[in-house]
């Protein structure tokens, strides 16, 4: 299985963020998308997720599920945590579990991210780091080969970062793929870097 970007270009607000950009991510690999603010890191992830259309080029998956779109084969965790603050932690997990078509894995996901003891607490009462962990927990609620993570360690303390790294590395060991926008090294296994802002290819 392999995710590929072929000569991608993206224009936002009349400004070209990147052009003629190509990359590849094979099963078991992570790609760290790095660069200054405004270089197009979030835009690239949203383009891969199918939320934005490139001005040129294409993104495609080789060896994936033939009857599913690329967006149906990925998890996208953006800057917002996508949680309902009026619902409890458990209710948020149950919602995402049903939405993602899995069902039954929500308790294990909460335990992995250290939230099981907070199951009955409304999400609005969580700290910023706990909310981030709840947003990340949905990665474990359905088995999808591609994880797209936008600044995933935002608001996480050291323990939260280590939990995320463990979950990502386990996903990679199973043959999954990860593309993460970040300003810092993340400790992911088999990670390569793609630097935006200087029209570079993946190193």
CA distance 29 to 180: 11
* Residue 189 token pair: 């296994």
Helix (H) or strand (E) holding 47: helix 41-48
Q: Where are the alpha helices (DSSP H) in 56-157?
A: 89-99, 106-112, 128-137
Per residue in 52-80, pLDDT tens? 999 999 999 998 788 888 988 999 999 88
In the chain, the domains with their CATH numbers are: 2-195 (3.40.50.300)
Answer whether residue 145 shows pLDDT above 80: yes
Q: What tens digit of pLDDT does each residue of 83-127 get?
A: 999 999 999 999 988 888 765 678 889 999 999 999 999 999 999
Q: What is the pTM of this model?
A: 0.91
């Amino acid at each position: 299985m392999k995710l590929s970007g072929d000569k991608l270009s993206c224009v936002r607000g009349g400004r070209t963020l990147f052009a003629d950009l190509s990359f590849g991510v094979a099963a078991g690999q992570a790609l760290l998308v790095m660069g200054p603010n405004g270089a197009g890191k979030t835009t690239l992830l949203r383009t891969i997720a199918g939320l934005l259309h490139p001005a040129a080029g294409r993104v495609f998956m080789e060896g994936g599920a033939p009857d599913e779109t690329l967006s149906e084969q990925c998890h996208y965790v953006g800057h917002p945590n996508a949680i309902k603050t009026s619902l409890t932690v458990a209710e948020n997990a149950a919602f995402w579990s049903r939405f993602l078509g899995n069902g039954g894995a929500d308790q294990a996901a909460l335990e992995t991210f250290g939230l099981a003891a907070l199951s009955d607490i409304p999400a609005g009462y969580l700290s910023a780091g706990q909310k981030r962990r709840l947003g990340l927990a949905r990665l474990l609620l359905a088995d999808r080969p591609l994880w797209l993570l936008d600044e995933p360690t935002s608001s996480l303390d050291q323990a939260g970062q280590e939990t995320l790294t463990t979950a990502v590395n386990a996903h990679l060991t199973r043959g999954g793929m990860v593309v993460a926008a970040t300003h810092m090294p993340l400790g992911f296994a088999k990670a390569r870097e793609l630097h935006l802002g200087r029209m570079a290819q993946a190193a």
